[in-house]
Each structure stands twice: as C-alpha cells, then as structure tokens.
Amino acid sequence: IDRPDRPVSINFSPRQFRRHNFVARLVEEVQRAGVDPTRVQIEITETAIFDDADRAAETLYKLRQMGFRIALDDFGTGYSSLYNIRKFALDCLKIDRSFIEGMGRERESAAIVHSIISLGRALGIGVIAEGVETEAQVQALRLAGASHLQGFFFSHPVPAAIARTMAEARGLGGDPAAAPRVMAPSPGV
C-alpha cells in the first residue's frame, strides 16, 4: 500500500478470518504499511462469521475498537439474520451480485435490493451494490436509493498504478472524502 491516506478494502476468506492470530497479523501488516486502521475496511462473507458467531463477534469487536471498518460481503446469500447484523455491529452491507443481476427480470430480486437499501439506511450503516455491469442497473439502483455502486460497469480490476491514475483523473487525489459515491472494484482484492 503505497498511499496510506487512501481507503483500502480487503477481502478475507472464512479460513483466514478464523485463524487464531488473525487480528495480530492484520494489525502487524497494517502498521508495517503505515496505514491508519480507520482507512481499512475488512470485507468478510456471512459464512466467515456465522459458523462460530461468538468468536467472530469477539474478533470483529477487537477490529472495530482498533478503528477498522467491517463490511459483510455477499449479503443475503448465506446465513443472514437481522439479529446477527445487530450483534456484529457492521459498518456496511454489500448486496450480493446475484440480486443485482436479477433486478431487471425478477420482482423478488428488486424487492430484496430495495429492502436491503432501506435496512441499511434505517440502521445507519452503508450499503454497497456489487456486481453492477449495465447502465440499466445503475439507473435502477439510483432509483432504489443506492449511493454506493461497485462493478465492471465502472472498471474491471486494474493494477494499483492504473487505479491511482484513474482516481487522480476523476479528481480524487489523496482525499478519500472527495471520492464520489459511485466506485469501481478495489484492484488486487
């Protein structure tokens, strides 16, 4: 990470997340990179936290106490429960791409997407629609009230140097607060 002032999202597999030294190793790597933990969003899937909910809650609590942000990836495809959303004190829900893909042809997918966006707003947590690939999806998500979009419509994964150039061309510079609310996939994640 060559720009410690930029936000970073990191995906972890359930196996990585369950390691006994996960928090210590993550903190060590972030410190070595000189990155403020408040700039790091940890993205984990539902299966990573719901298989051993008590241990996961403890791990997430430690991470949040250190300033890390927590996003639940692929939301709605696993073991979601409203109780667990509250229990894990998440910062963000990422709507699984399968619901985004189905929005234009399945009433149920569109209803689920609208519901997740409303839920996030009501709970005061962020919601990211992932897997956005078409202009029609962008328009439907904007109408649904989505403020954060991610997917190939904006960019395919690119090397860090190209991502930096793209960000600077869009006027993002090093100030994450200047970032638009529409974003492309995080390169290298």
CATH number at residue 133: 3.20.20.450
- Specify the pLDDT at position 154: 87
Is there a single domain that holds both residue 105 and residue 183? yes
| 100 belongs to a structural domain | yes
- Specify the pLDDT at position 63: 95
Is there a single domain that holds both residue 100 and residue 48? no
pLDDT digits (tens, 9 = 90+) for 7-56: 788 888 889 999 999 999 999 999 998 889 999 999 998 888 877 888 89
Instruction: Write out the residue range of the structural domain in which residue 16 sits.
Output: 1-74
Is there a single domain that holds both residue 9 and residue 69? yes
Mean pLDDT of 55-73: 93
Is there a single domain that holds both residue 111 and residue 186? yes
- Calculate the average pLDDT of the chain: 83
Is there a single domain that holds both residue 69 and residue 143? no
| 161 belongs to a structural domain | yes
pTM of the model: 0.76
| 187 belongs to a structural domain | yes
Is there a single domain that holds both residue 96 and residue 25? no
| 79 belongs to a structural domain | no
Query: Which of these three, 46, 74, 102, is where a domain ends?
Result: 74
Count of C-beta atoms within a 10 Å radius of residue 52: 14
- Specify the pLDDT at position 79: 67
| 84 belongs to a structural domain | no
Q: Which residue has the higher pLDDT, 87 or 118?
A: 118
What Cα–Cα distance (Å) separates residue 113 from each residue in 8, 67, 126, 137, 158?
25, 28, 13, 11, 28
| 117 belongs to a structural domain | yes
| 81 belongs to a structural domain | no
Query: Which of these three, 19, 43, 74, is where a domain ends?
Result: 74
Domain count, the chain: 2
| 66 belongs to a structural domain | yes
* 76 dihedral zone (left: phi>0; alpha: psi -120 to 50; beta): left
Predicted confidence band at 83 (pLDDT cuts at 50, 70, 90)? confident
- Is a pLDDT exceeding 50 seen at residue 125? yes
Is there a single domain that holds both residue 67 and residue 12? yes
- The Cα 85–Cα 126 span in angstroms is 12
Q: Are 124 and 105 in contact (CB under 8 A)?
A: no
